[in-house]
Structure 1
Amino acid sequence: MTDTTALPPQAQMMQFLTAKWVSPTLGVLAELGVADALADGPRTADDLAKQVKAHPRSLYRLLRAAASVGVFAEDDGGRFALTPLADCLRSDVPGSMRGAVRLFNAEPMWAPYGRLMHSALTGEPAFDDLYGMDIYAYLAQNPAVEKVFLDTTVEFYASAAPAIAAAYDFGRFGTVMDLGGGVGYLLASILERSPSARGILFERPSVLAQAEPVVADRGLEARIELLEGDFFASVPATADAYVIKSCVHNFRDDQALALLRVIRRATRPDTPLLIVDAVVPPGNGPHYSKFDDVEMLAVAGGIDRTEQEWRELVTAGGFELRQIVECTPMAYLLEAWPVS
């Protein structure tokens, strides 16, 4: 790909503007399952179109565009093949990002950007202005989109879980409760590294139903308790450490503060809260969290926070932030201990 810093400013700006063309192109190819159809070897667009039920010439044009940025590759015979980037679009490989590509290009996720000015002027999510409800109410009413959302969450949890479990000593706690822990990938990874620990997965009933096979597949049925609940209402005071991953950034400050105070009521002086989330770095350098924060602004209504903003939030919630551990470039563990 072109090194944009070597281009004139106008050319760099044009590359930024045309970046919007790439994501929906990949989204269509992911939705059609083209990468899966190429798993057995190169094929022409005409051949692929028959399998994925697409218009042949249109599919060729999408594939050619994707190949120009390294996703797929076309040979002299007009056949397209997988590349390492295209492998990310397969549904049957470790580290698959097909769900994420589909979610990022689902209409409810990109349409709010047409009203981003609303968020800039009001501080309110463009999503709510567009659909008349927040993202969570929308997902509850649209099961097909919710499934893609949950599948993407599972992908992110599964890929990051081992690194998070390895980055911190969870083994010193007898019982670890994962609040809003999805289908249990992170909690399972923690327990696999801490054989004497037990876990509690605290989630909504619909999510716990999907967690059961994950827990069973990892052979952890005897060590993980599945517990229904709403962490905005109450949290059981039955753990030696509480983990909450990729949740707090979904909420604006007043909501996040209310959540931390609910958790604080459940903690003892020797019971930490371990927040796994993004931390926005200082300076002008590029970082995932800086545009994820715009996503929070436009769609979810939440905030990706700097270290100072995290410190202020956890202090107001009744905790002291003692350390921040980088687990992955996108996930940091914030160790917060209760204070009187």
Structure 2
Amino acid sequence: MSQGTSVSYMKELHSDSALSTMIELHSGVRITYMLQAVAELGIADQLAAGPLPVDELAQKTDSDADALYRVLRALAGKGIFTEVSRRVFALTALSEVLRSDHPNSLRDAFHMHGQKFMHDAYAQIGHTVRTGQPAFEHVNGTSLFEYVAQRPELQELFGKSMGKANRQIQLAAVESYDLTGVRTLVAVGGAQGHVLADLLTRYPGMRGVYVDGPRMALVAEQVLRAAGVLDSVDMVSGDYLESVPPGGDVYLVSHVLHQLGDDDTVKVLTNIREAMADGGRVMIVNAVIPEGDVPHPTKILDSTMLVLGRSRDRTEAEFAEVLRKAGLRLVETTGRALPSSVVVAEPS
């Protein structure tokens, strides 16, 4: 206990105090960069066959053995990797996810978000808070997508990191909603086609309609063909801000509306309402932010989008309002605990 104060700093640092909690949070950014480094080096891939001494790991990854040891030791203290004997490391359940071949691999995501142009934007979130404008554009002089489009060396990494993470989140959400009996599903903004391919595989009697721009349609056609479902899909190249095809029992809008402001969101939903039969449904796959202090991954993701672009996520009440303006009513929300939920709406 220090002289002149009743605070015991020893006690504070050895308990679940506010001080120790904030110190833990402060270390988060450093842990992120450590994960980015080991992801880029492919450490988890090297350990896939079993434990290895750090000297051998350093040789295989062209890195400094002492520095690599100190980083792996720090991560092992967080349950990411484990030091099975002195200076010998192995994978844990957490570091397995850093393997390139893991079905839920986050290796590319850590690698991407550790790039200088990304972390420089995150570091300037104060600019976004003060102005409401994306820090990414302030730091890099252009939007995220334009920045990547101008740099071919980044496009593969960006596509793999963003595509895989989004695909995993979307597929988890659609598992929470039963589409048994649906004859025709229209994927509005079908992107690379992975979600539509998964649904058509899961529901063999269903027919799909894919709607997106011509560039994405070319990619989606390959994905749907590889999944063996292309013959069950009508490919429609078009702008869903202008119109959508009629005749769908369900209109799937997956990770589209968070890219749009309220006016364009209402426009897309109105186009769907005009195209759908009275018995049709809209199935929105998107983050749904809970009200109040409830911890939820969407709150961090929404703040991330605030920095990187002009996207936003919505609460259930905010979804209900844009749906109402489009002549629809919210009837159900499933998968609330997931990073993305399913918001189901019908004609009002």
TM-score (norm 1): 0.88
What amino acid is aligned across from residue 60 of structure 1 in structure 2? Y
Where does structure 1 lack aligned partners over 5 or more consecutive residues?
none
Secondary structure at 1:286 match in 2: coil
Match of 1:311 among 314, 320, 325: 320
Identify which of 292, 298, 305 aligns with 2:301: 292
Shift of the alpha carbon at 1:180?
2.5
Q: CA deviation at 1:328?
A: 5.5
Q: Deviations over 1:274-326 (max 9, x none)?
A: 11111111231321011111112111222221111111122223321121112
Distance in structure 1 (CA, Å) of the matches to 2:35 and 2:251:
38
Amino acid at match of 2:145: Y
Question: Residue in 1 aligned with 2:61?
Answer: 52
RMSD value, Cα: 2.5
**1:255 and 1:165, CA in 2 relative to 1: closer, same or farther beyond 3 A?**
closer
Residues 62-120 of structure 1, C-alpha deviations (whole Å, 9 max, x = no match): 22222121111123331111111110000112222222222332333332222212211
Residue of structure 2 aligned with 1:40, choices 29, 49, 56: 49
Matched, 1:100 2:141: no
Residue in structure 1 matching 2:197, options 167, 185, 188: 188
Counterpart of 1:78 in structure 2 is 87
1:279 aligns with 2:293: no
Contact 1:128 1:135 in 2 (8 A): yes
Shift of 1:129: 1.8
**Match for residue 25 of structure 1?**
34
Q: Check conservation: 1:180, 1:244, Cα contact below 8 A.
A: yes
Q: Is the 8 A contact 2:170 2:285 kept in 1?
A: no
Q: Distance in 2 between matches of 1:296 and 1:126?
A: 10
C-alpha distance in structure 1 between counterparts of 2:126 and 2:171, whole Å: 39
Give the equivalent residue in structure 1 for 2:4. none
| Structure 2 unaligned residues grouped into runs of 5+ | 1-12
1:27–1:101 CA contact under 8 A, matched in 2: yes
2:210 maps to 1:201: yes
1:236-247 superposed matches below 5 A: 236-247=245-256
Which deviates further from its counterpart, 286-295 or 159-168? Answer: 159-168
Q: Deviations over 1:202-221 (max 9, x none)?
A: 23444334334432332212
Q: Tell me which of 321, 330, 334 is aligned to 1:325.
A: 334
> Does the 8 Å contact 1:179/1:243 carry over to 2?
yes
Query: Aligned partners of 2:226, 2:148: CA distance in 1, in Å?
Result: 28
1:155 alignment partner, one of 164, 181, 188: 164
Shift of 1:35: 0.7
Q: Is the 1:161–1:189 Cα contact (8 Å) retained in structure 2?
A: no
1:123 aligns with 2:152: no
Contact 2:109–2:161, Cα closer than 8 Å, also in 1: yes
Measured in 1, the distance between the counterparts of 2:19 and 2:209 equals 54
Identify which range, 9-18 or 206-215, moves more after superposition. Answer: 206-215
Question: Retained in 1: the 8 A contact 2:248–2:277?
Answer: no
Mean Cα displacement is larger for which, 162-171 or 215-224? Answer: 162-171
Whole-Å separation in 1 of the counterparts to 2:275 and 2:144: 28
Shift of 1:333: 0.7
Please name the residue that 1:269 is paired with: 278
Q: State the SS of the aligned residue for 2:335.
A: strand
Q: Structure 1 pair 212/26, CA: closer, same or farther in 2 (3 Å)?
A: same
Please give the per-residue CA displacement for 1:121-170, whole angstroms capped at 9, x wherever unaligned. Answer: 22221112222222232232233433333223442354345544443232
Indicate the residue corresponding to 2:233 in structure 1. 224
| CA distance in structure 2 between the partners assigned to 1:329 and 1:254 by the alignment | 26
Counting aligned pairs with the same residue, the percent is: 32
Structure 1 pair 193–75 and aligned structure 2 pair: CA distance change class (3 A): closer
8 Å CA contact 2:247–2:277 kept in 1: the answer is no
**Amino acid corresponding to residue 321 of structure 1 in structure 2:** L
Farther off after superposition, 277-286 or 163-172? 163-172
TM norm structure 2:
0.87
Aligned residue in 1 for 2:3 = none
Whole-angstrom CA distance in 2 between matches of 1:31 and 1:324: 38
Partner of 2:96: 87
Assess, with a 3 A threshold, how the Cα gap between structure 1 residues 205 and 325 changes in structure 2: closer, same or farther.
Answer: same
Which deviates more, 17-26 or 112-121?
Answer: 112-121
Q: Secondary structure of 1:222's partner?
A: helix
1:338 aligns with 2:347: yes
Task: Please say if 1:140 is aligned against 2:176.
Answer: no
